[in-house]
A and B are shown apart, each in its own frame.
Chain A
Amino acid sequence: MDSKEQNLATLNEIRQMMDRSSRFISLSGWSGIAAGTCALIGAWLAADKIGGYYRISYDTPNVCPSCLKKDLIAIAVGVFIAAFLSAALFTFIKSKKDGIAIWGLAARKLMWNTLLPMAAGAFLLLRMMELKQYELIAPASLIFYGLALVNGSKFTVGEVRFLGYAIIATGIFNLWAIGYGLACWAFGFGVLHILYGLAMWWKYERKQ
């Protein structure tokens, strides 16, 4: 009947409006893949630097640990910027395709709810570096990033939460596997992001 269709359409519209105003749904699977790839390249560069540092240090005592530290920080910052920009690019493309403004109410909520835990984590990492607690940097960054994802998942595609859980678990595992910081880091920020991105692409974007 006609009025039944009408009522269903009305309900549908209400649901859409609730969703669109509270969740940022343009997050693309490609963003995860791109961010993960950046992280893996970064981990590879870092492994190379660390390897080089220890190779030299056996025969030449005069190496500078602060150079290594500087290099690693530069790599980490570079990875963060590259990952953020490439993730933003694919999401921007998707939002254009869906015809949804990228900087809406939901996007602002998403940003605030993920950036707040990440900023708190960044202070912790900075302080850890000052106190030379380098072993805990990889697990702490994983845990805080995972918490940021879980917190932000309420304002975007809900599946982000599972990526968050997996990254938190990786970080906690890393707390008791201190020597494997870089490996855990590469797994959490690299492999898990790529897996998540592939899953999201498969689920939502394949057909389009």
Chain B
Amino acid sequence: MKNPIENLNKVFDSRIRLGIMSALLVNEDVNFNELKELIQVTDGNLASHLKNLEESGYIKVQKGFIGRKTNTTYSVTRAGEKAFKLHLDALEEMIRSLE
């Protein structure tokens, strides 16, 4: 029998990255401050996790302006959606196999 742990995605190990993906999957786009408020982390911490997800190709970044203030919004990519779903399936399978 193959080990279901292999299917768990390393990128989603972190609680913060998991939180970001969860929020982005149910919302079309979310900006930086909204994410910060939801996940309750510091700016730097959130930024580095966002960078990591972006480099993995799981989220897209759109930079825009509201008036003069920058407004950076994030949304999930197709690849991100697929990877997250596989991760959830793996979690589910693990729970089942332990029953």
- A: residues with CB less than 8 A from B are 1, 3-4, 7-8, 10-11, 13-15, 17-18, 20-22, 101, 104-105
Q: Contacts A21-B30, A104-B34; is A10 near B22 (CB within 8 Å)?
A: no
Q: Which residues of A contact B27 (CB under 8 A)?
A: 21-22, 105
Q: Which residues of B contact A14 (CB under 8 A)?
A: 18, 22, 88
B38 interface residue, CB < 8 Å from A? Answer: yes
Which A residue's beta carbon lies closest to that of B97? A4
The complex places the Cα of A1 from the Cα of B95 at a distance, in Å, of 10
B25 interface residue, CB < 8 Å from A? Answer: yes
Which A residue's beta carbon lies closest to that of B30? A105
Contact with B25, one of A3, A4, A7, A18 (Cβ below 8 angstroms)? A18
Contact between A101 and B37, CB atoms less than 8 A apart: yes
5 further contact pairs, Cβ within 8 A, besides A18-B25, A104-B37, A104-B38: A7-B91, A20-B38, A21-B26, A22-B27, A105-B37
Q: How far, in Å, is A98 (CB) from chain B's closest CB?
A: 14
Which B residue's beta carbon lies closest to that of A1? B98
Contact between A7 and B94, CB atoms less than 8 A apart: yes
Q: How far, in Å, is A16 (CB) from chain B's closest CB?
A: 8
0 or 1 for each of B59-89: is its CB under 8 Å from A? (1 = yes) = 0000000000000000000000000000010
Q: How far, in Å, is B57 (CB) from chain A's closest CB?
A: 20
Contact between A3 and B22, CB atoms less than 8 A apart: no
Q: How far, in Å, is B7 (CB) from chain A's closest CB?
A: 12
0 or 1 for each of B7-43: is its CB under 8 Å from A? (1 = yes) = 0000000010011001101110010001001110000
Q: Contacts A17-B22, A105-B27; is A10 near B38 (CB within 8 Å)?
A: no
Contact between B22 and A4, CB atoms less than 8 A apart: no
**Most chain B CB atoms below 10 A, which of A3, A4, A14, A104:** A14
